[in-house]
Amino acid sequence: MKTRSSKLLTPVLAALGIVAAVAFYQLNHSGGLAEAAFAQGAPKAAPDFALKDVTGKVYHLSDYRGKVVMLNFWATWCPPCNKEIPEFGELQKEYGAQGLQFLGIALDEEGMAKIQPWLAKHAVTYPILLPDPKVTSAYGDMPSIPVTFVIDRKGLIRSSFVGMRQKSAVEDLFKPLLLETASAGQ
């Protein structure tokens, strides 16, 4: 005879399995809310911003017009974010001279108190900016992170993705844009 607890265990395990499968899919596939937002229609202008880094230096997205920008929303507590940042740094080093620029926006609620010590322990080769709710809101709902927007030389969002991607898949997104000029037609 089955006990009451064993009758409850089966649906609970099934639910946990479904949650795990969804999480695994999101981390390993390109689909996602941010990506779907730009999958249809013409590219949209990336919202400009003025954000500070931990030293107080102000960065404007518009300062990077003419470059391909990989704008990454992340947090110090996010394992996939921590895994992709060194790979983004390698890509920045390899393709920076060709016009690629990574920018990170750390979404930690604690702001500089959390981000500055994290940066002291991790060598990041591109600017990491402090969060601003207005900027985050301008880029849309982000129910999970990391979220990365691929912005062309004209400042248009050409694609985006939720979750981590293999380094080669990230390269496949920006390399064609490096071949375009800022004045080229869409």
pLDDT tens digits for range 111-123: 889 999 999 999 9
- Give the predicted TM-score (pTM) of the model: 0.77
pLDDT tens sequence across 160-173: 999 999 999 999 99
Q: Please compute the mean of the pLDDT values over residues 95-101 and round it to a whole number.
A: 97
Is the per-residue pLDDT at 129 higher than 80?
Answer: yes
Residue 16: the pLDDT is: 43
CATH 3.40.50.720 fits 31-179, yes or no: no
Question: Alpha-carbon distance 89 to 149, whole Å?
Answer: 16
Percent of the chain having pLDDT more than 90?
68
